[in-house]
Amino acid sequence: MISSIWSNPSHLPTALAESASAVDQLIDRLLAVPDGPEARVYEAMRYSAQAPGKRLRPFLVLASASLFGVSLTSALQVAAAIEMVHTYSLIHDDLPAMDDSDLRRGRPTCHKVYDDATAILAGDGLLTMAFEVLADADTHGDPAVRCELVSYLAKCAGSAGMVGGQMIDLQAEHDATLDIGAITRLQRLKTGALIAFSSEAGAILGKAAPETRKLLHAYAHDIGLAFQIADDLLDAEGTEAETGKSVARDAEAGKATFVSILGLAGAKTQARALVDQALGHLDTFGDKADLLRQVAHFVIARRS
């Protein structure tokens, strides 16, 4: 049972730490380093995947799966897969050809510790292994469910989702003229699509009715945008010590963001409104959705 991993579900920091520990143990097993010269790519994959991130997406998988009586084994498989895809995106985003960042999760970035080619391969290795994990029989007894997970993650991570959002972002890099609609679409693809997959994964595993899954999609849409506004606020107001990554990059690059368009106060108001809207989508789930409610508040209160 999923709830067995949470000793105190009303205390979000403890619940986040407990689900992070469970998913990290599985990732540790999945990324066992083989003998042979290919060991280097596994070491680079482990370096980034085991770095101290929030493990927010795995948590969303576990919290959404807990609504539908899904087994812990199934939910952890999906949680590990989404964290692998997320980590791949961070490794590639930090490369000199993209964001050229030296610091991620409070540590030197993968390409700084290894080299660019190894970092590219580590990202590729994590992305492809995620689909191997989803397709594994441990993920769900019903092949149709596994197929739906593979297909939906491919859509969310690929050119119709995160990769597409990253492409728009790279093209808009020095464009301060993007309007709020364009930024919203960019961020829905770049950040929101993986958050949508994570939040809907429980409904897919639990074979929930389409209208129930839609509620989680709507919740994810709202917290995804709130998460991105919080990210823009951290870039504008946070410190490198708090966030574990470079800050003030957006303003330096002259980039249009939610903060540059709405202002600091306007962005905070908008983020709070999105969280309220997200909570509204959870009404029908009752107390069972309390962790999803708490995490909605957390995405805008976080300092890293």
Residues that bind ligand GRG (CB under 6 A): 53-54, 56, 86, 89-90, 92-93, 105, 162-163, 166, 190-191, 231
Strand ranges in 88-190 using DSSP code E only, listed in sequence order: 103-104, 107-108
Distance in Å, CB of 97 to ligand GRG, minimum: 10
Q: Is 247 left (phi over 0), alpha (psi -120 to 50) or beta?
A: beta
Distance in Å, CB of 166 to ligand GRG, minimum: 4
* Residue placing its CB nearer to ligand GRG in the complex, 163 or 172: 163
Distance in Å, CB of 96 to ligand GRG, minimum: 13
- For 9, 153, 234, 253, the CA distances from 92, given in Å and listed in that order, are 34, 18, 21, 19
Distance in Å, CB of 180 to ligand GRG, minimum: 17
CA distance 225 to 216: 14
| Residue 99 burial by Cβ neighbours in a 10 Å radius (0-12, 13-18, 19+) | buried
Distance in Å, CB of 302 to ligand GRG, minimum: 8
Distance in Å, CB of 9 to ligand GRG, minimum: 21
Query: How would DSSP label each residue in 147-174?
Result: HHHHHHHHHHHSTTTHHHHHHHHHHTTT
| Residue 106 burial by Cβ neighbours in a 10 Å radius (0-12, 13-18, 19+) | middle
DSSP state of 211: H
Distance in Å, CB of 193 to ligand GRG, minimum: 9
Distance in Å, CB of 149 to ligand GRG, minimum: 19
Angle formed by the axes of helices 193-205 and 210-237, nearest 10° = 150
Q: Which residue is nearest to ligand GRG (CB)?
A: 53
Q: 206-243: b or e for each residue (b if 16 or more CB lie within 10 Å)? A: bebeeebbebbbbbbbbbbbbbbbbbbbbbbebeeeeb
CA distance 265 to 55: 28
CA distance 120 to 97: 11
* Residue placing its CB nearer to ligand GRG in the complex, 205 or 295: 295
Report which of 41, 161, 166 is spatially closest to residue 92, judged by C-alpha positions.
166
* Residue placing its CB nearer to ligand GRG in the complex, 103 or 135: 103
